Homo-oligomer: A and B are copies of this chain.
Amino acid sequence: MPKLSDRSVKMPASPIRKLAPFAAEAKKRGIKVYHLNIGQPDLHTPEEGLEALKHVDRKVLEYSPSQGYPAYVEKLVGYYKRYDIDLNVDDIIVTCGGSEAVQMAFMVCLNPGDEVIIPEPAYANYMGFACETGANPNNPTGTLYSREELMRLRDLVKKYDLFLFADEVYREFIYSDAPYTSAMHLEGIENNVIMIDSVSKRYSECGIRIGAFITRNKEVRAAAMKLAQARLSPPLLGQIVAEASLDAPQSYHKGVYDEYIARRNCLVEGLNKIPGVFTPMPMGAFYTVAKLPVKDIDDFCRWCLEEFNYEGETVMMAPASGFYATPGLGKDQVRMAYVLKIEDLKRALVILEKALEAYNAR
């Protein structure tokens, strides 16, 4: 049997999805599974997007341009203007989800052995994408949220002439009063910044696979276009939906935002009431990392799916160990997404508490 590549051995399994086969087995046994493992919102896609789909009046579902449809790209320029981010159409490449934008950024910027500095816990698949390029994720000391921290980061990026990869897919989900500061706002490092974006979370459109790779660096852009042209084009139907969704009214965003705040409060307060559990109050996105009273989180998460149920129901969570680049960290933590409706979150909390009791009483 021929040998696999070294990278495919090193490549970590996604902690978000690696337990999926066990969840599928649990469902086959008739068990209801509450999915806290993945940021798959249950909130509705904007009507504008769904309507556009019903009116696709094409006889051929043809390739779109490698950069994405010009009309969509132009509309994106307008969207970013709302956030005071000035872009040209040439700065944007439409991608197959934010995932492809991250892959492209790493492919264009990183050599095998290069170091990627990443705040922990981090989105697990960054590790995987770095692995594809042969680069090396490493852990730094802090997280990077306030404007002041971003200014300090800018100074470091400038001093050492680094690339800054800024994944800003959650800009609509910031729960503090501080103004949103984008990496694209930082002056003096215009050629260093690559912004990753996606409509997945913003419009509950994870399935259409539409993201964007955004940079003002013309060399990076040209190299990314070679990758974009090699894979031919981003999804056509997704672009139609995404373009129409940009017309969603402010009330859509307000409704979504308020709902997430309520869900966050429900989940975080509920978790902190369970003995031995602690989680901080997240100020953005719709995830929280919680410390649980277990020693081997991978074993516990798998056990929940394979061996446990409470009244025919169980929970699926993402072991947080996979969200750390430092070996050994996160062994007693899970990442949970608060993308379920409040009554489901409440039920999931009851099940989690029962699961912890049963697991620790074995």
Contact = CB atoms under 8 A, between A and B. Distances in A.
Q: Which of A49, A161, A227 has the most CB of B within 10 A?
A: A227
Contacts of A237: 53, 207-208, 235, 237-238, 241
A177 to B, nearest CB: 30
Interface residues on A, range: 35 or more
A281 interface: no
B18 A229 contact: yes
Q: Which of A62, A64, A223, A241 has the most CB of B within 10 A?
A: A62
Contact of A129 (B50, B54, B209, B230): B230
Contact of A53 (B13, B53, B109): B53
A252 to B, nearest CB: 13
Contacts of A60: 41-45, 204
Contact of A11 (B53, B61, B227): B227
9 contacts: A5-B133, A12-B226, A13-B226, A14-B230, A17-B232, A63-B207, A97-B232, A207-B237, A235-B237
Interface of A: 1-2, 4-9, 11-14, 16-18, 20, 38, 40-45, 49-50, 53-54, 56, 58-66, 96-97, 99-100, 103, 107-112, 114, 125, 128-129, 132-134, 161-163, 191-192, 204-209, 217, 219-220, 223, 226-227, 229-238, 241
